[in-house]
Every structure is written in C-alpha cells, then in structure tokens.
Amino acid sequence: MSKRPGVTFASALLAALCLLAPTRASAIAVGSLTFSLSADLPFVAKKVLNNNREARLYRVTLTAIDRPGEREVRRRPADGELLFSPRQLTLTAGDSDYFKFWYHGPQDDRERYYRIAFHEIPTGNQTVRRRGAGAVSMEPVVIIETILVVRPRRVSFAWAYDPASGSVSNTGNTWFTLLIKPGCTTSEEQGDARYLRPGDTVRQPALRAPGHHTLVYNDRFIALSDACRDP
C-alpha cells in the first residue's frame, strides 16, 4: 500500500544519509520509519539488522521535536526524559539485535515526538589515497532517521468521519493510520495510507464513495462504514 505525502509522518522523515562514500545496496535495516510507545507499556524495542557482508557498529542519537514536519522545532530532551539501551551494538554480517527505549517524561495527555537516528559505523574503516584528492573513505557511515511517537499517558482516541465532505479528522490526542481503498474490489496497491496526528484532517474524494476505509490504532482495525460488507 502506498504512503503519499501530505499530512503524513513519512513526508517528514529522512530516509538515509550516506556520508564519506557512495551508497551501497546493502546496509542497515530498521523496519518502519515510524514507531510508537503505547501508554500501557514500559518500553518499546526497535530491531536493527546488519545487511552488510562485514561487521558493523551501531549507535543511537535522539532529538525531541514539537511535531513531525518541514517546520518542526527541535530541542534536546531533558535529562532522563527518554532513555535507551544498550549504548551501542556490534553486529556481525546478517545479525540483528534490539535497542530499547524508555520514556520517563511528564505523565499527561500530550503526545510527544522524537527523531531517533541510527548510525551504522564500519568497525575497521578502510581508506585509499588518490593523487591530488587526499584520503577517501571506502566504508560509508550510514544514518537512518526514524520517528518515535510516545503516546499520551492519558489517551483520548477519537475521530470524526464525514462521508458527505469526504473527510476524516483526528479529534483525539494520539495518532492513528487511515487506510483508504476506493471501491469495494480494489487491490492493496490501489490504496492509500495516511498518518493523522492530533488535529489533522484528510479530505479525499474516495472517502465520499463506498470503499474499504479503515482506521488502524494499536494494531486494531476499525472500519469507518459497512458499505463493502457482504449482505
């Protein structure tokens, strides 16, 4: 299913930055670029996979942001607000392991967002010297940025669907995904996925017509209408 820009987390993400050398097909893999910590869980774990042919070192840096987007405001989290473990990982080729994240900030009704950058660092950096160009690294340092959403400790999950105007609004205080499949016989590839933050609204002509329109929240699938159900 496609994920288009607009009011989406995906439009705010940096997919990957390769520094010091050209990109390569094999590199770090972290799964979804947006993940969340539920109010009823003490921590969330993020899997890191080494897709290289050699061992790599992995480190994490994090930044708090007001909301994902082009004009987001970044800040350094308060001491102890968001903790992670381990400090770093060394993975052999094809191996994987987890970083865990704990939230110890305010226990209120506000959702919080963090940019989590995963750094993949060669364990033995190789360099070559080119005439007139100095030393050039042959092993790239790869950085993948993701977004961690800490759901409010006091959650209000709510939405408004208006078929007449073709709109869905997030009227609660925590994010969810809207899946839009126009018509009752369309394929997954013809669908659209939108991430709605508190206060976001999606307007689309497909929402005015019968179709498989679904909200996804904490692995729950909620149909917005029964127009496509069998009689």
Which pLDDT does position 117 carry in this prediction? Answer: 97
d(CA 152, CA 170): 14
d(CA 37, CA 215): 18
**Is residue 217 located within the same domain as residue 177?**
yes
d(CA 97, CA 91): 8
Cα radius of gyration (the chain): 21
Total number of domains in the chain: 2
Evaluate whether residue 182 is within a structural domain. yes
pLDDT band at residue 115, thresholds of 50, 70 and 90? very high
**Is residue 49 located within the same domain as residue 138?**
yes
**pLDDT > 70: percent of the chain:** 81
**Is residue 178 located within the same domain as residue 97?**
no
DSSP 157-197: --EEEETTTTEEEE-SSS-EEEEEEEBSS--GGG-EEEEE-
Which pLDDT does position 229 carry in this prediction? Answer: 73
Evaluate whether residue 200 is within a structural domain. yes
**Is residue 90 located within the same domain as residue 179?**
no
**Is residue 38 located within the same domain as residue 144?**
yes
**Is residue 69 located within the same domain as residue 122?**
yes
* pLDDT tens digit sequence for 2-36: 344 333 444 343 333 333 333 344 589 999 999 99
Q: Which of 45-49, 68-72, 152-156 has the lowest mean pLDDT?
A: 68-72
> What are residue 203's DSSP bridge partners?
167
Residue with tokens 């790239």: 140
Which pLDDT does position 135 carry in this prediction? Answer: 55
List Cα–Cα distances, 97 to 72, 90, 108, 166, in angstroms.
Answer: 30, 9, 32, 43
**Is residue 124 located within the same domain as residue 18?**
yes
**Is residue 87 located within the same domain as residue 187?**
no
Q: Identify the CATH number of the domain in which residue 87 sits.
A: 2.60.40.10
Which pLDDT does position 26 carry in this prediction? Answer: 58
Residue 220 neighbours by CB under 8 Å, 6+ apart: none
**Is residue 26 located within the same domain as residue 44?**
yes
Q: Which of 115, 150, 185 is the last residue of a domain?
A: 150
Which pLDDT does position 125 carry in this prediction? Answer: 56
More confident residue, 59 or 210: 59
Q: Which of 132, 150, 168 is the last residue of a domain?
A: 150
**Is residue 25 located within the same domain as residue 138?**
yes
* pLDDT tens digit sequence for 59-79: 999 999 998 888 889 999 999
Which pLDDT does position 3 carry in this prediction? Answer: 43
**Is residue 108 located within the same domain as residue 165?**
no
User: Which residue range forms the structural domain that includes residue 20?
Assistant: 10-150
d(CA 149, CA 30): 16
Which pLDDT does position 225 carry in this prediction? Answer: 84
- 10 Å CB burial of residue 8 (0-12, 13-18, 19+) is buried
Evaluate whether residue 86 is within a structural domain. yes
**Is residue 120 located within the same domain as residue 170?**
no
